[in-house]
Every structure is written in C-alpha cells, then in structure tokens.
Amino acid sequence: MTDFIRLDKALSNMGAASRKEVKEAVRKGKILVNNIPATSSDMKITATDELVINGIPLKYKKYEYYMLNKPAGVISATTDLKEPTVTDLISSGRKDLFPVGRLDKDTVGLLVITNDGALAHELLSPVKHIKKTYFVRVKGRISEETYNIFSAGIRIGSEQFQPAELVILKNEEVSEAEITIYEGKYHQIKRMFEAVGNRVIYLKRLSMGNLRLDESLPEGKYRELSEEELLQLKDRK
C-alpha cells in the first residue's frame, strides 16, 4: 500500500521547513515535486516523489532509524528542561524522533532512536520478551550461586524477574560479565546485582533483539541503521 502524506506535514516532520515556510515557498514556486512546481502545501506526496526545496533535493522518508552509542550523562527522553537528552544528540532535524526504551543516565551503549511508533511498541511490549544483552562491571566477586539465581529468575521484594543469562568474564575485586535479560524493568540489572551483593559500577548495552552495537561508533555518536540492521531489529527469533 502506498503511503500518502501532505507535503507540508512531510517537510515539517522531517525538520526541513515549518508548515508556514512550506506555504510561502509553494507560493513563490520554490518547491518542486517531480520537477513540477507544487501548487498547494497540502498536496499529497509519497516516498517515491522527488522533491526540491529552494534548489535542494530531498527525499521524503516516513521513518528514520538511528543507532546511538549513548554516552553517560544524557537522559533517555525527547525533551527535558534541565538535562541533555538522547534526541538532542541527533541532528537530523526531525521533530518526531524518540528513543526505543530507556537506559539510565549513567548507562552507555546501544539505543535505537526512531519515529516508528509501531516498531517501538513491538520491541518494548513485555509479552514479546525481546532479548537485551549488557556488559556489566560490578564491585566484588560474583558468587557461584548468582548464575543459578539469575537463570531461575530472581524475586526482589514483591517483584519477580524473568530468567536471565549470565556469562562471567572476570571474577576479581572488580568483576565483569555479560548478562542477557528478556524484559526491561526499572533499574533491572542494577537491582538484580544489588540483590546478590554486587554493586554495578558500569553498564553498557551491547544488543537489542538481533541488533548489535557497532563498536566502531564512539560514545555520543550515531548513524542510520543499515537495511540489514533494521531487519535484524525486526527479526525477533
């Protein structure tokens, strides 16, 4: 099915021009759709139409998908009065971008930023059990029982956490592990380790579904997902 969208809505969603600016540019004949001057700002366009605005070619994209290597100190929200947010780091100009889920302010690593609400809903739905793998550094040694406790599913107070997979990489005064969880409860990994006597001192998300963080992406940087990565994100087997 072809998706149609109003010219002014498409351009303002993409951050290319406000609706008022589109109206003005159309009046001056400065917007071309397939090489023909647009006649009204509410005309319908599709992703295959060639647009030129003030001499600059542009392709309408309904959805955009970015991989961000989230740095520490930035909150997983779209706007905040005091703190920098993850969408402030994306300079695509789009106004409708949001992060798919949340990482704590001090957590780093993979965060998908998009405007595709349906995909985000699928990925975050608790019944879909999308797997998420993290690298974690904790204070102290990780006891042998922790593996069994996590794989059985730990109960903390009145809250039951689903089974998680733990791979211990280093077991010393400061220990390191990879942990895979299938849900996304508030401070989940920090609380799980706290419950077995280890305080998390560093947390980095490595993957979500089958999508892995591109380790060549420095913290704070982002790039568009490739077609293949988008398929990996959508493929939840």
Active site residues: 104
**54 Cβ contact partners less than 8 Å away, ≥ 6 residues apart:** 25, 30
157-191 residues labelled b (16+ CB within 10 A) or e (exposed): eeeebeebebeeeeeeeebbbbbbbeeeeeebbbb
The alpha carbon dihedral of 7, 12, 15, 17 has a sign of positive
Segment contacting ligand URA by CB under 6 A, of 67-75, 120-128, 163-171, 182-190: 182-190
> What residues does 81 pair with on adjacent strands?
none
* Residue 204 within binding range of ligand URA, rule CB under 6 A: no
Interface pick for ligand URA out of 67, 138, 203, 208 (rule CB under 6 A): 203
Least distance to ligand URA, CB of residue 223, Å: 21
Least distance to ligand URA, CB of residue 64, Å: 23
Interface pick for ligand URA out of 11, 189, 213, 233 (rule CB under 6 A): 189
* Residue 213 within binding range of ligand URA, rule CB under 6 A: no
* Residue 107 within binding range of ligand URA, rule CB under 6 A: yes
Least distance to ligand URA, CB of residue 198, Å: 12
Residue 188 has which token pair? 């989940």
CA distances from residue 29 to 17, 36, 41, 71 in whole angstroms, order as listed: 15, 9, 11, 44
How far apart CA 221 and CA 218 sit, in angstroms, is 6
* Residue 149 within binding range of ligand URA, rule CB under 6 A: no
* Residue 190 within binding range of ligand URA, rule CB under 6 A: yes
Least distance to ligand URA, CB of residue 190, Å: 4
For ligand URA, the binding residues (CB under 6 A) are: 103-104, 107, 187-190, 203
